[in-house]
Structure 1
Amino acid sequence: MQCQNCGAQNKPDAQTCRVCGEPLTETRLSRRAHRHREASQPATQRQYAWGLGLVLLVVIALGGWWLHLRAGETTSATSTPTASQASAPATSKPAATFPTAAVRQRVQSQVVNLAGTTSVAVRATSGRGQVVHNNRQQRAAGLAELFVLAAVYQQAQTGKLTLTQRVTLQAQDRVAGTGQLQTMPAGSRFTVANLAKRMIVDSDNTATNLLIDQLGGVTATQRVIQQLGFTKTELNRKMMDTSALKAGRDNQTTVNDVAALLRQLYRGTLVAKTADQTMLKLLKQTQGPSNLGANLPSSATVYHLAGTYPSYGVQNEAAIVQNRHGAFVVVMLAENGQAQAQTKRMRQLGQELTQTLLTR
């Protein structure tokens, strides 16, 4: 404390100045400072208390969060699914069992007492379910175009043929029967892809023959068909080659070969996924009516190709029937019979199989 008389500094608790002996008294300035220190002390204590409380809250929160994580890890560890469960989509359903007995009964009911020779194959698009009735070689008629189509896209896939290359129509190329190319002038040009579309969508005989030529002829086309695995299918002539027919050479196939081709096409395993999708779209655009799909509701999608040859009593059709419940393949080859009866049985077969296989 400073002495007001002589200015000497004394101890804080001194009563008199150590130099002049005068009594020591506080100035107003020192008293103000002392009061300020007294006032500020509680505030500091309050700030300290608030800070301490905040730290405690943070510690408690972090501790609770850590305990929550530990509890989650424990729960997860006790409920971890198996590998198969973890990989399965949440909406996946077990594959429906192919009702072999019911399908066989439907097929038998439609081929019984049907004049001529009839073969039928029904195959699931997934799994191994199938029913085959009378798998034997029969006249392919227009279904030969399916195998020509597969050969074209197979050769294009391997680079031996180009889908964009142009083919010139010559006068001698035009043949009768179905299709518009027979009416077009010589010198008209078409890409290979356009000829393939005309062959399937319009069942154009001239387009089919031009594609066979691009593949190297009948023998070369047959070689590709065999390489694709359709060993019971024989391409022995071009379309409308009546001289070959008179000599006993006709195009032959079996319901098993046709069904296998359609199944692979649908699954994208015939040539390549993109090529198979392109071919599948063509089968969806075919102009001719589908007997197998005639009695089906509009909610069903039918990819099909038909082949008829009235002179030999031939009514053939191959189809993939699809709706929101799934899809199946059905092929019916009928020859030496009556068209009206064959058509009626095809329509009933398509309807009954759809009710059996694609109704939930």
Structure 2
Amino acid sequence: VMIEIYHRASQGQLALTDSILVKNKFESIVDYSTYEMNIAEDSEPSLYTQIGKQMTLFDLMNQMIISSSNLATNILIDEVGAKNVNASMQRLGAYNTEVLRGVEDQKAYDLGLNNMTTAKDLMTIFKSIALPLGETTQDQIAMIDVLKAQEFNDIIPRFLPGDVQVAHKTGSITGLHHDAGIIYLPNGETYVLVLLSKNLKNFDQGTLTLAKISQLFYEHVTALEVPSNKR
């Protein structure tokens, strides 16, 4: 969704400073009946105090990425359109990623109509953002800054040294916990890591295992570095 917002901004179709209405009524893709988001199921409850008011696209995008706000996600999907988001994914080569609906569309969920992605597609998406320094556009730099501000850091960054920066996006529902992002090493090198899970019987233990996998990847990548006195 963030990539589509920046794409449309680059085409002059919108501005990040545009204000839109904060609402909590959305249409099911099944029969267009309306439903509301449950504040108790959202990781960012403060946005619900702004319902009926105006907020900028940029602020809502920050809520969606940094705080994993379900409400902001649905508002922005409505604003830019799921089909347009899918078109952006196709342009990037993420051919198995599809946004069908917003969050908490229970009727769609009951019929198996769910958003989909793959580890390969997420790798493709993050690689498209993480171009080498000097080739990165201002939009990519802006997206990286938002991703670096992620508040949920219990997987990829959890056991990494403090001087390692991570630009990433997490996601979780019952039995699932994901994290994908760009890892910036102190020597200027980067790598992209995607960690997906499903059917977690113990959510906390699954999260810990994913964090340890991230640590193993970091140790492997940094072990490949050649000391400066041996170059």
What TM-score does the superposition give when structure 2 sets the normalisation length?
0.83
How far apart are residue 268 of structure 1 and its match?
6.5
Q: 1:342 aligns with which of 197, 206, 222?
A: 206
- Determine the structure 2 residue equivalent to 1:240: 104
Alpha-carbon separation, structure 1, partners of 2:161 and 2:46: 34
Q: Is 1:322 aligned with 2:184?
A: yes
Q: Is 1:199 aligned with 2:64?
A: yes
Structure 1's unaligned 5+ residue stretches are 1-147
Alpha-carbon separation, structure 2, partners of 1:153 and 1:185: 24
CA contact (8 A) 2:123 2:193 kept: yes
Structure 2's unaligned 5+ residue stretches are 27-35, 226-231
1:288-307 superposed Cα distances (whole Å, 9 cap, x missing partner)? 12312211111211112111
For residue 316 of structure 1, give the secondary structure of its aligned residue in structure 2: strand
CA RMSD of aligned residues (A): 2.1
- Determine the structure 2 residue equivalent to 1:208: 73
Runs of 4+ in 1 over 6 A off after TM superposition: none
CA contact (8 A) 1:290 1:304 kept: no
Alpha-carbon separation, structure 1, partners of 2:46 and 2:209: 33
- Determine the structure 2 residue equivalent to 1:155: 8
For residue 267 of structure 1, give the secondary structure of its aligned residue in structure 2: coil
CA contact (8 A) 2:82 2:99 kept: yes
What TM-score does the superposition give when structure 1 sets the normalisation length?
0.54
The percentage of aligned residue pairs carrying the same residue is 25
More contact order relative to length (CA 8 Å, sep ≥ 6): 1
Alpha-carbon separation, structure 2, partners of 1:175 and 1:318: 25
- Determine the structure 1 residue equivalent to 2:171: 307
How far apart are residue 341 of structure 1 and its match?
3.6
Alpha-carbon separation, structure 2, partners of 1:322 and 1:218: 31
For residue 277 of structure 1, give the secondary structure of its aligned residue in structure 2: helix
**Structure 1 residues 211, 268: closer, same or farther in 2, change over 3 A?**
farther
Aligned length, in residue pairs: 209
Question: Comparing both structures, which one devotes a greater share of its residues to helix?
Answer: 1
Q: Is 1:169 aligned with 2:31?
A: no
- Determine the structure 1 residue equivalent to 2:84: 220
Alpha-carbon separation, structure 1, partners of 2:150 and 2:176: 19
Q: Write out aligned runs for 1:262-273 (5 A).
A: 262-267=126-131, 273=137
Alpha-carbon separation, structure 2, partners of 1:264 and 1:171: 32
CA contact (8 A) 2:24 2:71 kept: no
For residue 287 of structure 1, give the secondary structure of its aligned residue in structure 2: coil
